[in-house]
Structure formats: C-alpha cells, structure tokens
Structure 1
C-alpha cells in the first residue's frame, strides 16, 4: 500500500508540474493529429523553443507523457528556467525518454539524433548534434553531461595543411551508466554495459575494450573490467518510477 501511494504521489507531482502551454503547442505542431492528441511529449517548467523546424519521430507504440523534457525525477527540485530546444534536424525516440531540468538541445539541419528506450540526460545536460548522435536503450547520463559531435570550427594540420573532419558521429551503447559532468565528444563509441566515471572526457572508440567496463579520466581510458551497474536489480524500479 505504501509503495502504491508513493507511486501515485510521484505521478501527481509530475502532472502538477507540466507546462501545459508548451506541451500542447509542441505536440500539435510536430505530430499528426492522431498522435498529437495522445500528448506523447510533456514539458515540465519553462523552455525556449528557438527553432522547431525539424522532424520528430516516435517509433513504436505511442503513449501519453512517454517523453519528458524537464521531468522532475532527480533530487533537485528547482528549475533555473534556462532550458532551450533548437531543432532543425531529425530527432527520433524509440521508447520512453527523460530529460532533466535546464537542458540544451541543438540539432543542426543536417543532424540526426536518436534516443533508445529509457535513455536519459539529467539536469543541465547539453546535446549538440551536427551530424549524428545515437543513445542506446537505458543509456543514462548524469547531471551536467554534454554530447557534442562537432568542433564547430575547421581545424588544420599547421605542418602539412591537412584539414581535419569537423564532425564525427557519437554512439553510446545500451545500458550505459554515465556519471555527472562527463563530456562525450565527436567520434566517441561506447560498448554495451559501459560505466563512465565523473568528470571524464571521452574522445574515441572504446568498443574494442568489451562490455562490462569502467572507463574514466581526461582523456578516458580503461579503469576496470567486469563491472556494471546492477541493471537487473534496477530495471523494474526505473520503469515503475520514471514512466509517467
């Protein structure tokens, strides 16, 4: 009984904090009526829509509130009011997805960004996608993380004049546990069941290290094998408390 009451309280708290104006506007602007009326995307707290010219796609069954921007699922309770979405490219959701408070999402016209089921970016997260960023199922990022697949400016080899590639896709594997203040930069690929320590800088392909690894540092390197978040023990709770 206590667990049921707690779940009811959390769900009521979610609904109480919904920004209904932005929620209605976004859904009916970005989806056909038969999808928009289900209100699959909820916005919590204030948010600035710098651009919504891009495309939003939901793969699979559509449910109300399955994607939460600014969703109050963390310990902090106050919005700073600096959340912003600049969507000119394509954004795809493959299930339920959560964003914490005060996020910044920028998807360039040529960019493609994909979120797996129960992927999340916690508060003060930043995502800048110029080419491609893909997050697997249960790829969960802590607060103040950033994913950036571009240098923003062309870089050259000052000796031979070689021009380096400005953008390289990012791919975050399934069941990744990424702690706070992690920077995931262009060209990063992580395997399934990867854990990344706080304050790390990821810049390359780590998939050859295998699954169930801990990486960390600046730049990130292998710290430990045969270690993983207890996903089997937590999946039911994650689904129960985070799916509205």
Structure 2
C-alpha cells in the first residue's frame, strides 16, 4: 500500500493513460501505474497478455538515487505489449516509432535510465533484468551507401533478448542483437551481433561483445552480495 501511494499524485495521468490505451474491462483495473510521466506522444496501442490486475505495470519507479528522479518519458506510435509484470525505473525513456513492435516479457525489470528505442522490433523474454543506464535501439535512423550509390543495408533489424537475461550497467544493444537464455551481458558492453547460437548460461562482454565465459548465470532467487567489514 505504501508503494502504491507514491503513484497517487499522478492518478489523473494514470487514469487517462489506461483508458486511452486499453479496453474498458482492462482499463477499469488500472493495470498501468505512472509516476512522474512525460507523455510526449500517445499514439499507437498497448496490449496486455494474460491476467490483468492493478499495478502490474509500473512506469517511472523511483529506485536508484544516483539518477535523476524524472519518472518516465513516453513517445509511442507503434505497439507495446506487456506479457505480465513490468517495472521500469526513474529517468527512463520509451520511444516506439510508427510500425514498431516493442514487447516486454513477464517479470521484466529495468532499474533506472532505460532507453528503449523501437522502430522495428524489440523483444525481451521473460525474467529479464536490465541494470542502470542501458540503451536498446533497433535502428540506425540513417542509411549508408556504398561508393557506387547503393544502400549497404536496411538500417534496422530486430533485437531479440532471451529469457532470464541480465544486462549490467551502461550497456548498448543495437540492431540485429540476439541473446540466448540465461545470458549475462557485462558492464559497458556493446552488443550488436547475433549470439543466440551460444549455449545458455554464458557471459558476453566487451566492445564489441564476445563470449567470455560459459556455465554462469544469475539466480534471481539467490543473488545477494554479502559485504565483509
């Protein structure tokens, strides 16, 4: 209840947002809670899969004090799908272009300063944890030509993140990136290739990211660090 009270000052925006995007039978339950929202563009649509309950999606959660308490910026002309519980932290931005499809799997959590930029396809599997200051962008926004004047590539490609992935702080994930299940992406890594063929429970790290270690994963039920005095 105490946590829900943090969203009370933004109830008018929350009510409008839910009824703008969801069918009446879902909207009345207020499944999406907003905190300090900056609603830059509210086009496109939102889909919620599975059972709907109040506060299952929380946007702009204040949980990391080293980043500004600026809530969340929302700019959407495409489709955003929530497969279940979702929490996106403070100082975050969600931008979905016309025709873009952004999907958050069940139990998605981004702690702070998430930049999710989707103009084509950006998919997160279930139980994904994204650390501070991560950017996911499936487009270059500009195309590159060869010397003969032909376009070298489309300039965009889908990003597909596997289940139970953990992205450490300050990672950048670009078009065409794919990861296997139970994958860890090390801090400050640049992920732009297709690593879906790697065995599950692996560590990718570096610029560009490469396979560093196998047989490692984050256990969400047992990952607390004990600091010795």
Of 152, 155, 159, the residue aligned with 1:163 is 152
Residue in 2 aligned with 1:111?
A: 100
- Number of equivalent positions: 223
| Structure 2 CA distance for partners of 1:178 and 1:120, relative to 1, 3 Å | same
Kindly state the Cα deviation for residue 160 of structure 1 after the two structures are TM-superposed: 6.9
Of 51, 56, 60, the residue aligned with 2:46 is 56
Determine if contact 1:14/1:71 at 8 Å carries over to the other structure.
Answer: no
Q: Which runs of 5+ in 2 are unaligned?
A: 225-229
Q: Which runs of 5+ in 1 are unaligned?
A: 1-10, 238-244
Aligned mates of 1:144, 1:230 — CA distance in 2? 22
* SS at 2:222 equivalent: helix
Q: Note the alpha carbon deviations across 1:135-194, whole angstroms, 9 max, x for none.
A: 000111111101000000011223673431111000000000110111010000000000
Q: Note the alpha carbon deviations across 1:93-138, whole angstroms, 9 max, x for none.
A: 1000010001111101110010100112221110110100000001
Determine if contact 1:96/1:118 at 8 Å carries over to the other structure.
Answer: yes
Kindly indicate which of the two structures has a greater share of residues assigned to strand.
2
Q: Which moves more between the two structures, 160-169 or 141-150? A: 160-169
Kindly state the Cα deviation for residue 78 of structure 1 after the two structures are TM-superposed: 7.0
TM-score, normalised to structure 2's length? 0.91
Kindly indicate which of the two structures has a greater share of residues assigned to helix.
1
Q: Note the alpha carbon deviations across 1:178-235, whole angstroms, 9 max, x for none.
A: 101110100000000000110000001111111000011000001111000123536x
Aligned mates of 2:38, 2:198 — CA distance in 1? 40
Alignment of 1:148-227 (within 5 A): 148-158=137-147, 161-227=150-216
Q: Which moves more between the two structures, 97-106 or 15-24? A: 15-24
* SS at 1:181 equivalent: coil
Whether 1:66 and 2:56 are equivalent positions in the alignment is: yes
Q: Note the alpha carbon deviations across 1:61-119, whole angstroms, 9 max, x for none.
A: 001000000123x3428744363111100000100001000111110111001010011
